[in-house]
Structures are given as C-alpha cells and as structure tokens.
Amino acid sequence: MIREIGDGDSQGRDEFCAAVRQILPILCFESERIQTFLAEAVKKVLVIDSGAGRAFVGRSGSVGITFIIPANWPQRYAIIEEGIKELQSWPRQKAIFMTIDEGIPSHNVYFAGLLPGLGFEMEPKMEMVADQMILSQIARPSLPDDFVETSLTHERSEEAARVLHEAYLTQHVAWPPERCVEDRASWEDYVSAESAERLSSWVAVEHQGRIVGVCQGCARSGAIAISELAVLPSYWRRGLGRYLLVRCMQRFRTKHGRAGGSFCLSVGRTNVPAVSLYESLGFRAQKVFTRAIWERREWAP
C-alpha cells in the first residue's frame, strides 16, 4: 500500500522523523545534517507498506526518488526491496530515477547492490571540477581543415539532437530499436525546448555543411557547468571534443567568469576517453555517484 504524508498527517510525519533519527546516525550522518535532511525531506514523502515492513520514500517530481528510509534497520534489505517493487507496480510511477551518493555519509549506497536485480540500469558517474584560471594555461585550439565553428539555431536543432543521440548511444549498445527511437525523440525535444538565446550559447562544429559536434554550458551558483559535449562517433579522435570544450569554457568565462570560480561537469566513469580529455585540461574528480534508472516500457523484456 502506498500513501502520501499530507500536511495534516502529524502521525505520519512523526513516524518518518523517528525513522530518520534512528537510521541516519547508523549511516554516519551528524545531528546537524539530520536536522537539515528532515527540514528538506519532509515536504514530499510516500509511505510504502509491504509484507516486509514500512519504508519512507522521498519524491522529486513524478519520477525522481531522493531517498528510501526503512522503518526497521535489521529488516532494511527486505523492506527496501519490497518497497521498490510496490513502487514499480504503482500506476502513477512510470519511471524511477535515483542518484546513489558513493561518498560518506550516504543514505542509499548500502542498498545499491539490490537495484540491478530489480531492473535498474546503473550508470557509474563522477563530478569533475577545475579552476576557471586553467584557461590562462590553455592555448586556443584549432580545427582540422574543412571544419568550422558555428552557433546553433532552432532550424538546426534536429542536427544537434542527432549528434547527441548517436554519441550517447555508444554507451547503450544493448538498447532495442524502440528504445533508440525514443531516445532520439527525447533529444529532439530537449534541444528544441531551448530558447533562442540559450541555443545561441551552444558551440557547434560543422563539416561539409552538417553539424558533427556540439557543446552546451550554463552558469549556475558561481560555477560554469558543462552540460553536454558530444561528437558523432565517425568523427572521434580528431580533436573536436577538446576544441568544443575549450571554446565553450572560453565563451562562458568571458560572460560569467569570476575570481575563484570553477568549471564543473559530470561524466561516466567507464567513459575512459572523456575522462582522459577532462584530466588533460586540469579537471579533477570531486564526487563519485551512480545514476540508477528504472523505466516502465511496453517493449521492456
């Protein structure tokens, strides 16, 4: 059974707070972080009762799961496993996205091993950072002959989506054709939803009239984030990724840079060429995590 803890459900809130105060100290959370966690987490919590016991689940949007707290620590694995199964069978839950924080303290890394058996795709990732001053040590890159830098417009959004789709597809070679079609459509929606101003900030490279690589950045909380970097696989190992990344960093630092500011990005830990590129430009790992994804699909086995 699944229900939400409503505004007037003082008993549900008290039970949730008691579970958090019991479980989080075992996971090395200090009292100040527990209080912060409770202040933020209590806003949207599901209660899931299964045959194994009760679990409290934090939600973000319609598919994001921010935490799963078992009410009984000795039965934690059975409670979490049965709770996830209940959530997967809930008609309102079309997908589940979780970020598994692999640092200390973490409220979910201890049960991550259960997730593949429950149908989750696990993507090991890391966040990398670099000081904005690294650009002073990097020469402006050059492009091979017949390649030119360009900016994006909505008229070329499908080209950019194709680049993103084909580049990221190399990390998901086992996907069935239906999933590939869906991924291409989602990238087209993503790029076309960008405003004209945001789209013009992308850096793109074209060859013989077609876009073969793109890089997107954004400024947030004093940092410059590299959101997307993709090159068509048939154009790899020509220096295009390095060119796009450096030019995007230069463009955003000119407009949003500040003393003490940083660049940040996330990358799959198994994507060795990308990690090597970022390290060669001065990026260093700051945080490791795993993205866990489950989706309900008609074509899924």
Give the tens place of pLDDT for each residue, 72-84.
999 999 999 999 9
The per-residue pLDDT for 23 is: 95
Q: CATH for 129-287?
A: 3.40.630.30
Q: Which residues pair with residue 155 across a beta bridge? A: none
Instruction: Give the percent of the chain with pLDDT over 90.
Output: 75
Q: 95, exposed or middle or buried, with CB in 10 Å at 0-12, 13-18, 19+? A: middle
Q: 200, exposed or middle or buried, with CB in 10 Å at 0-12, 13-18, 19+? A: exposed
Average pLDDT for 91-116: 93
* Spatial CA neighbour of 297 closest among 182, 172, 169, 186: 182
The per-residue pLDDT for 205 is: 97
Residue 39 has pLDDT above 80, yes or no: yes
Best mean pLDDT range from 64-73, 168-177, 217-226: 64-73
Residue 115 has pLDDT above 80, yes or no: yes
User: What is the distance, to the nearest Å, from the Cα of residue 224 to the centroid of all Cα atoms in its chain?
Assistant: 16
260 CB neighbour count, 10 Å cutoff:
8
Q: Are 263 and 132 in contact (CB under 8 A)?
A: yes
The per-residue pLDDT for 135 is: 92
Average pLDDT for 58-68: 90
Residue 138 has pLDDT above 70, yes or no: yes
Average pLDDT for 37-43: 81
- Residue 177 CA to residue 102 CA, distance in Å, equals 33
Residue 112 has pLDDT above 80, yes or no: yes
Average pLDDT, the chain: 92
The C-alpha torsion from 217 through 220 and 225 to 228, rounded to 10°, is: -50
Residue 38 backbone class (left: φ over 0; alpha: ψ -120 to 50; beta: rest)? alpha
Greater model confidence, 262 or 172: 262
pLDDT category of residue 150 using cuts at 50, 70 and 90: very high
Q: Are 16 and 40 in contact (CB under 8 A)?
A: no
* Spatial CA neighbour of 46 closest among 89, 93, 109, 3: 3
The per-residue pLDDT for 154 is: 92
Average pLDDT for 68-74: 95
Sign of CA dihedral 73, 77, 82, 84: positive
* Spatial CA neighbour of 228 closest among 277, 269, 174, 168: 168
Residue 58 backbone class (left: φ over 0; alpha: ψ -120 to 50; beta: rest)? beta
The per-residue pLDDT for range 230-278, each reduced to its tens digit, is: 999 999 999 999 999 999 999 999 888 888 899 999 999 999 999 999 9
Average pLDDT for 90-109: 92
pLDDT category of residue 172 using cuts at 50, 70 and 90: confident
Those residues with Cβ within 8 angstroms of residue 165's Cβ, 6 or more apart along the chain or in another chain: 180, 183, 184, 187
Residue with tokens 């001053």: 133
Residue 61 has pLDDT above 90, yes or no: no
Which range (151-160, 223-232, 289-298) has the least confidence? 289-298
* Spatial CA neighbour of 24 closest among 79, 73, 61: 73
Residue 1 has pLDDT above 60, yes or no: yes
Long-range contacts of 231-237 (CB under 8 A, 24+ apart): 231/163, 231/167, 231/205, 232/162, 232/163, 232/166, 232/167, 233/166, 233/167, 233/170, 235/207, 236/273
Average pLDDT for 100-125: 94
The per-residue pLDDT for 299 is: 45
**Can you give the residue ranges of every domain in the chain?**
2-119, 129-287
The per-residue pLDDT for 298 is: 57
Helix H or strand E encompassing 109: none
Instruction: Give the percent of the chain with pLDDT over 70.
Output: 98
The per-residue pLDDT for 301 is: 45
